[in-house]
Amino acid sequence: MNPIAFIRKNILALQPYSTARDDFKGGDISVWLDANESPYSNGVNRYPDPHQRKVKEQVAALFGAPAESIFLGGAGSDEAIDLVYRIFCTPGCDNAVAITPSYGVYRVAADINDIKLREIELDPGFGLPVDRILDSTDSLTKVIWLCSPNNPTGNAFERADMLRIADRFNGMVVIDEAYADFSSRGSMINDIATHPNIIILRTFSKAWGLAGMRCGMAFADPRVIAYFDRVKYPYNMSSLIQQELLRRIAEGTGNHIAETVAERNRVASALACAPCVDTVYPSEANFLLVKVSDPDRIYRLLTDNGVIVRNRSRLPMCDGSLRITIGTPDENTRLINLFSKFER
């Protein structure tokens, strides 16, 4: 399957913005008079590397993927989500398919790009409805969005089911792995080699604790990544962010992932015993979806006591549910104590 066949014709013909430093090949330059920058050094007077070469080398080593298969975005995974629509979907014509409930930016980005999004409810128990997803596609469906582990349900889908969708769908399948570091199922980055219509999204916001830096990643067939690089704006990641990413990658995540998983299990067990809790859904992410007896009252109790969670009870299949991020051990204990005080 050739993923280039799914790219919009105008994108295939696009001539990307080219800097003078892209055009220059070889030589040792010490005087930079090509980009109308300030010549007065202050650490950020020069434009950043638009290709983020050094960072991509480290990301490649970190994830075991070729550097040419990596896109880095300066607005978290959201930049990559927007680029998928812009590269593969013709506005006012094409459509995409997503599961629901799931990450809301898939719809927001679809609306911005004038792409109709068809949302397919998960199976009971939040299972992946493979056949219903495939049956909802037509000749104008260019993208299928899958989030695994899924937000807000927390469960991860079977790799075989997602590959079955990729095998049978004549378009791009985007698998959002923002929470994969907390899951026992691992990543599907290696499946890109045999399924070039798969795009994997990752982020430094969650397990790496770098949400304020806004850096996301897309992994795909190098032919697809080449068009990500053509369509993105030239300097989409500042030099300061690139430098800080190199430092943080060298430091690693420490024991934060293991501690978060352990705390997730502790909080799940404790909340399951609270009188106001009906169900604590299994999670492979850094949050729990919890069905409660009175979500609005419990939400107010928490906020009145300085604790904020996400009320997801208006979403499909999430009636009566709160999404609770796993915090520090002290923060989690505070949450548990508040739940225990709420009378059903």
Q: Give burial (CB, 10 Å; 0-12/13-18/19+) of 291.
A: middle
Task: Work out the angle at residue 149's Cα, subtended by the Cα atoms of residues 144 and 152, and round it to the nearest 5 degrees.
Answer: 90
List all residues 6 or more positions away from 310 whose beta carbon is below 8 Å from its beta carbon. Answer: 152, 322, 323, 324, 325
The pLDDT-based confidence of 156 (bands split at 50, 70, 90) is: very high
158: its two tokens = 């079977």
What pLDDT, in 10s, does the model give residues 239-267? 999 999 999 999 999 999 999 999 999 99
pLDDT at residue 306 in the model: 97
Assign 338 to helix, strand or coil. Answer: helix
**pLDDT tens-digit series, residues 55-103:** 999 999 999 999 999 999 988 899 999 999 999 999 999 999 999 999 9
Question: Which alpha helices (DSSP H) does 119-175 contain, by range?
Answer: 130-135, 159-168
| 344 band by pLDDT with thresholds 50, 70 and 90 | low
What is the dihedral angle through the alpha carbons of 151, 155, 159, 161, rounded to the nearest 10 degrees? -90
DSSP 193: G
Question: Reduced to 3 states, what is the DSSP secondary structure of residue 269?
Answer: helix
Q: Are 172 and 146 in contact (CB under 8 A)?
A: no
DSSP state letter for 270 = H
The amino acid present at 318, given as its one-letter code, is C
The β-bridge relationship of strands 116-121 and 95-100 is parallel
Q: Examine the pLDDT at 319 and tell me if it is beyond 70.
A: yes
Residue among 253, 246, 175 nearest 208 (CA)? 253
Model confidence pLDDT, tens digit, residues 94-136: 999 999 999 999 999 999 999 999 999 999 999 999 999 999 9
pLDDT single digits (tens) 28-47? 888 989 899 999 999 999 99
Tell me what pLDDT residue 292 has.
Answer: 97
**Residue 85 confidence (pLDDT):** 98
